[in-house]
Structure 1
Amino acid sequence: MKISFIRKDGPGGTDVDSTERLRVPSELLDRHQGRVLDPGAEVASGWPAPRPTAYRPRVLLIPDDVLRDEARVGVIRQVLNGAGLDVDAPEAGSGSTPRPVLLRPLAGQRDDVDSWSALQKLRAAADDDGIDLDHDVVGRISLEHLLFSAVTITGTPWDTNADSVDGSYRRSPSGTSRVPVSLCAHPPHRGEVGTEQFARRPVIAVLDSGIGPHPWFGIPDRTAPPPPGGFISVLDEAQDAIRRNAAIDSASPVQSLTDYWDVPAESDKLIPHVDSNTGHGTFIAGLIRQAAPRADVLAIRVMHSDGIAYGSDIIAALEAISRRVERAQEQNRPEDMVDVVSLSLGYLDETPADAAYTTHLAAVVSRLTEQGVLVLAASGNHSTSRRFYPAALAELPDAPGAGPGVISVGALNPNTTKALFSNDGAWVTCWATGAGVVSTYPTDVSGPRQAPTGDEDRSGLDPDDFRSGFAVWDGTSFATPLAAAAVANALIDVAASDTGLSLANVHQETVVKRAWAALERCYEQYPV
């Protein structure tokens, strides 16, 4: 395994292919009622021309504090009514978390709802002196982006380098780089906790497709949650918030993420294939178990098994993690601390200045880094320099008094060259092996494809029978948890070498110092 951490050196430069179109498969868009924004779409005066992005056309994200203000909601509704639309606003919470708000046509209007067009109406109204709509408020209302997992070949909805990438990394007849393998190894020993040098296991939060059964994790099947005190735990608070998000549109055909189990999306196919991202979260957990066995994983299911996640669900999960960290720090509860967040997904934003002006996602990520949580995000698999968020937030300057900013991770081949599929640019601040990696896979996944057979007890390799519990896969999705594991190991090491940075101490100031010390150790241990 090869890892390199790169010190920040100013802004990441400019994109060179900002107008490329996104070739998102229609099946994915149809399943999630999504749409790709055309760069030629209408734009309100004074706002930047859009770039291609994928979004949910029936949903806008509106912060809770705006939804609590009845007068503001009334003006927003008035503007939208003028465009033949109305909003079904959910009950607002007590903070400023953005909530998905459903747009619907007024009676007698065409059912051609487009949240981008609605957003432009609101932006134009904010510049109208005759309408009492604050420009800053409208600036905090946004599209709900579709985020995509960072695996290559399948799970990646568009591909700018198809010939070289597909031919090089495809292994299975299904066209995926994922293939079952056997691993002749026991799970790495976890080490004993309780000494002054190793007072607590660092926790890596994995926001992904959830978990599946595997003996390495003490999960024999899907009948019970992960065992208490085991390697994997779950965060019900986050899953509850994601369920509330899904409740805004009970008539939607999109399958809701009801819990933490990695299950296939419902399909009308008579012979459904193994979804492109089935097992993604379990695979990532296994990489962390191999590379940082002394750490724990907090698994949160935010992504569907076809590799699609919704922006509001990502934000809700990160908000839940931040609240948990806040409780840990204010109530001195080390057992509630989350030290690292690993994100193997992202999106291409419609606004060139996203790193400077995006509101919701950047805000919650900044809150986490202020708390001292180390956030790592995949750079994406589009063979492009165009910024992939949240990874590209790595180019933002570190905030005074906060921990390190986002660490964006690109993928290396086993021979340490950069993988053809990996995004690249000065905004990528870490590189780790992400091609040809082997890890855990749910033991109950077996698809319809059949291996060629010979005699009754002889056959070829079945490409989608994963009962062995292991697979090989490619993507910046998998480089990211390996880098997160290196950071977790560094946290243990710096805590062991400096009693003032003990993992038992979760005071915010100490957590921030420990995070910086761990990253500095990574710079020294994993140079470019």
Structure 2
Amino acid sequence: MWTIDYQGEPDSEPEAPDAGAALVFPREILDAHGARVLNPATAPLGSGSVVPDSTVYHADMVLVPTQVLADRSVREWFTAALGELGLEPHLPEDTGNDPGAEPLQWRAVVLRVTRGVAEVDAWAVVQHLRTRLPVDSPVRGLDEISRRILEFGGRIGLNHLLVGSAVIGGEPVTDGHGLPGDTPGRAGFGYATRCPVQVVWPKPVPDPAFTGRAPVVALIDSGSAKHDWFDWRDEPWQGHQFLVSSKAQQKIVNGTPVNAARPQQVPAIDGHEDRPVSGRPLLGLVNAQAGHATFEAGLIHQLAPEARILNLRAMFADGLVSEHALHLALEYVLELVEANQRDPDTGLFVDVVSLSCGYFNENRDDRVYTQSVERLVDEIRSKGVMVVAAAGNYAATKAFYPSGLAGIPDQEKRPFERAPIFGVGAKNPNGSIAIFSNGGAAIKYYAPGAMLISTFPPGIRGSAEPELELRGTRNGRPWIRESYDPDDFRSGFALWSGTSFAAPIVAGQVLAHLIRDHGAQLADVSADAALTRGTAIVKKLQQ
């Protein structure tokens, strides 16, 4: 029997920086994304800044509040400050909501060289911008323009790269939860690599006695793939269970600026399908995160076969997620929920958002510069939407965002104003905490996350071959006898490990509780009703 364990007290490990939190990224992956690993020892600092922690970010982009782009005075300050560095901003097609609108939105802005020779480094740019902020004086105060520059310009930050994978000691824990990209990976600490398996149980069948509104989970992850269990349908969604959205994917495209100075090395997220399978066709290696969302969807479907699954693709094929793409996907979920709460015939109420990616923030204690994801997640939760986030696989106690939001004390003081957020670590089959799982104050729930079996795209076949193979004919029929093929997934199922999969197990169990214990009330999608259900589920999981 498996359980979800609740740990009310933080882990006993020290909260000092972990050696296990060291970031290890292949050079080719960083180059493909125009990214850098921030090195605390060499990072340039502005006046009054503290030495940062390490993080991974797009070197040629910054995240900018939409008020900076829409407010002429603030935009002129931003453009002038960039000009001092020989740079100019290049905006995406979608520049977000109107100034003054809620919630506060951020957009990715590309940094382009306009004169001379300039180093394009978003960290250095952010440091420079902060030195150009107006200084508030208790005697004279600030005029209105300076106040807006300080408020919104001070929130310009890095466009982080989130990972759906992690390393321990520089080596992969599991294939697909190891190095980003298409690294073949090898077992670590006794865990098998991602591999095909055969199952004998049937496809889960919804309970015909359940006639209420089917609860919805949004998987913001890799793309969808064909599978016998899932019949993915685009909008309109009426009557369908497994959902994708061309509108959401177009929103991500429109909100992603293109840097003409840097050749495109990573296939754009221009649709809902999980592709490409291999990032290096001359080798034929299967991408480390291929099938990631399909595996998660299968776990949820096993636990709550009545639930509807909305798959929003924000993850590149190599397992990385640009922070701005996560913002755009979350904005889309918020738009669906708000529309449905205004008019039941429009939009879609999403009961749970499941997130299996994250990043380490460079500012351990500075809340001013870590609000972009937090504000959006909080706004979604205020509508009654529960959020489940994976702890990360670095064996670290440092907060891994967005799961780190579950450890912010201010949110715990207002449990009835927002739906719960669950930070989820992984357990081994024997019930112990998996050695690779992150911990810390934010991770209070632990669910099975090691050596799991779930759905996987059956069309994926990599270049690895069986060690032994015999072919012939017998009674006029083809005959094949071979050893195990480690990347032939025609069975449609795989074994995999990671906190990425512990999170959807919690999401699936939350959905199961909604169906079993609150089925008659699910038709009420008001924020108050959803918050009440969320509070009841927290009590259930903490028993």
TM-score by length of 1: 0.89
Moved more, 442-451 or 42-51: 42-51
Indicate the residue corresponding to 2:247 in structure 1: 237
Moved more, 60-69 or 372-381: 60-69
Q: How far apart are the structure 2 equivalents of 1:157 and 1:26?
A: 15
Q: How far apart are the structure 2 equivalents of 1:355 and 1:288?
A: 33
Secondary structure in structure 2 of the residue aligned to 1:345 = coil
CA contact (8 A) 1:486 1:522 kept: no
Indicate the residue corresponding to 1:100 in structure 2: 108
Q: How far apart are the structure 2 equivalents of 1:369 and 1:355?
A: 19
Indicate the residue corresponding to 1:461 in structure 2: 484
Indicate the residue corresponding to 1:284 in structure 2: 296
Structure 2 vs 1, CA of residues 356 and 193 (structure 1 numbering), >3 Å: closer, same or farther?
farther
- Superposed, 1:469-488 pairs within 5 Å as 469-488=492-511
Indicate the residue corresponding to 1:294 in structure 2: 306
CA contact (8 A) 1:443 1:468 kept: yes
Deviations 1:442-463 (A, max 9, x none): 0110011111224312111111
Secondary structure in structure 2 of the residue aligned to 1:216 = coil
Indicate the residue corresponding to 1:162 in structure 2: none
Correspondent of 1:411 among 426, 429, 437 = 426
Indicate the residue corresponding to 2:283 in structure 1: 271
Structure 2 vs 1, CA of residues 228 and 343 (structure 1 numbering), >3 Å: closer, same or farther?
same
How far off is 1:14 after superposition?
A: 6.5
Tell me, which stretches of 5 or more residues in structure 2 are unaligned? 99-103, 137-141, 167-172, 181-185, 472-479
Q: How far apart are the structure 2 equivalents of 1:234 and 1:211?
A: 8
What is the CA RMSD across the aligned residues, in angstroms? 2.7
Q: How far apart are the structure 2 equivalents of 1:331 and 1:45?
A: 51
Q: How far apart are the structure 1 equivalents of 2:12 and 2:154?
A: 25
Correspondent of 1:309 among 321, 329, 342 = 321
Aligned residues: 503
TM-score by length of 2: 0.86
Correspondent of 1:88 among 79, 87, 90 = 90
Structure 2 vs 1, CA of residues 389 and 212 (structure 1 numbering), >3 Å: closer, same or farther?
same
- Superposed, 1:383-462 pairs within 5 Å as 383-396=395-408, 397-398=411-412, 399=414, 401-456=416-471, 457-462=480-485
Correspondent of 2:526 among 507, 521, 525 = 507
Indicate the residue corresponding to 1:15 in structure 2: 15
Deviations 1:15-63 (A, max 9, x none): 3225754221112112211100011312222333210000000000111
Moved more, 417-426 or 247-256: 247-256
Correspondent of 2:66 among 32, 55, 64 = 64
Secondary structure in structure 2 of the residue aligned to 1:372 = coil
Secondary structure in structure 1 of the residue aligned to 2:330 = helix
Is residue 2:344 matched to residue 1:323? no
Secondary structure in structure 1 of the residue aligned to 2:373 = helix
Q: AA paired with 1:360?
A: S
Structure 2 vs 1, CA of residues 226 and 93 (structure 1 numbering), >3 Å: closer, same or farther?
closer
Q: How far apart are the structure 1 equivalents of 2:219 and 2:500?
A: 11
Secondary structure in structure 2 of the residue aligned to 1:135 = helix
- Superposed, 1:152-191 pairs within 5 Å as 152-156=173-177, 166-171=187-192, 177-191=193-207
Indicate the residue corresponding to 1:204 in structure 2: 217
Moved more, 425-434 or 250-259: 250-259
Q: AA paired with 1:264?
A: P
Q: How far apart are the structure 1 equivalents of 2:71 and 2:236?
A: 41
Q: How far apart are the structure 1 equivalents of 2:496 and 2:314?
A: 20
Indicate the residue corresponding to 1:25 in structure 2: 26
Q: How far apart are the structure 1 equivalents of 2:366 and 2:281?
A: 38
Q: AA paired with 1:58?
A: D
How far off is 1:194 after superposition?
A: 6.2
Indicate the residue corresponding to 1:363 in structure 2: 375
